[in-house]
Amino acid sequence: MKLVISFSARENGNCDQIANHITSTNDKIIYLRNMNIHSCMNCNYECFEGECVYREDAIYRIYNEMCNYDKVIFLVPMYCGNPSSLYFIFHERCQDYFMHNDNYDEIIKRLYIIGIYGNKKDAPDFIPCFEKWFYGSPYSNRVLGIERHLYHQKIADSLLEVEEVKRQIDNWIINVEKE
Ligand SMILES: Cc1cc2nc3c(=O)[nH]c(=O)nc-3n(C[C@H](O)[C@H](O)[C@H](O)COP(=O)(O)O)c2cc1C
């Protein structure tokens, strides 16, 4: 069973379409934009000693939920040269989660990431940004970059209409499911 999380702000864009494409009946998709979430703000770093002041929003629950699935796949678009803010909000809140849960390996052994962006030449740090999750771990090749410019796709075009992209994603998912 897979848990797929879309970090896109837009409904039915490339992240959502790919999420639908790679999931089947028993899998689950979370659209983070629809959840009750908070970024790290208006607090006194309570997470370092006690609990995050936003412990009851959706994020802590999603981190816990990740451990109930065989594979967890993040779908993250590039906004203004970086991963979307929804991704950073989710990521920074792991400070609270991992301060209280000794299960970093349980999370990352399930974790795979697809980054959707223009091209590697203009943004060489986009994909390595996601690879930070796996530094010092035995896991490699967990991040797939989909470069829109290679297929002359514009911002709002549908990447899955490009056969080569569909094939690339399908082959990647076969390997994810095999691991
Ligand atoms: C606010 C915003 C900023 C963006 N900035 C970039 C960018 O800097 N480079 C790029 O290649 N694409 C950029 N894009 C395009 C998105 O990466 C692209 O539309 C992607 O498909 C978005 O994911 P979605 O289709 O799931 O919404 C931007 C899109 C938005 C909405």
Closest residue by Cα to residue 89 from 10, 133, 12, 35: 35
Per-residue pLDDT averaged across 28-53, rounded? 96
Which residue range is the domain that position 143 belongs to? 2-178
Total domains, the chain: 1
Q: Is it the case that residue 64 has pLDDT exceeding 90?
A: yes
What b/e readout covers 110-144, taking b as 16+ CB neighbours within 10 angstroms? Answer: bbbbbbbbbeeeebeebbebbeebbeeeebeebbb
Mutate to test the pocket of ligand 1, among 155, 161, 169 (most ligand atoms within 8 A of CB): 155
Per-residue pLDDT averaged across 112-141, rounded? 96
pLDDT in tens, 77-126: 999 999 999 999 999 999 999 999 999 999 999 999 999 999 999 999 99
CATH number at residue 145: 3.40.50.360
Which ligand 1 atom lies nearest to the CA of residue 18?
26
The per-residue pLDDT for 154 is: 87
pLDDT bracket for residue 16 (50, 70, 90): very high
The helix (H) or strand (E) run that includes residue 108 is helix 104-108
**Which token pair is 114?**
């697809």
Q: Is 39 helix (H, G, I), strand (E, B) or coil?
A: coil
Mutate to test the pocket of ligand 1, among 11, 18, 80, 169 (most ligand atoms within 8 A of CB): 80
**Which token pair is 22?**
């790679």
**Which token pair is 84?**
């979307």
pLDDT bracket for residue 179 (50, 70, 90): confident
Q: Cα separation of 48 and 15, whole Å?
A: 33
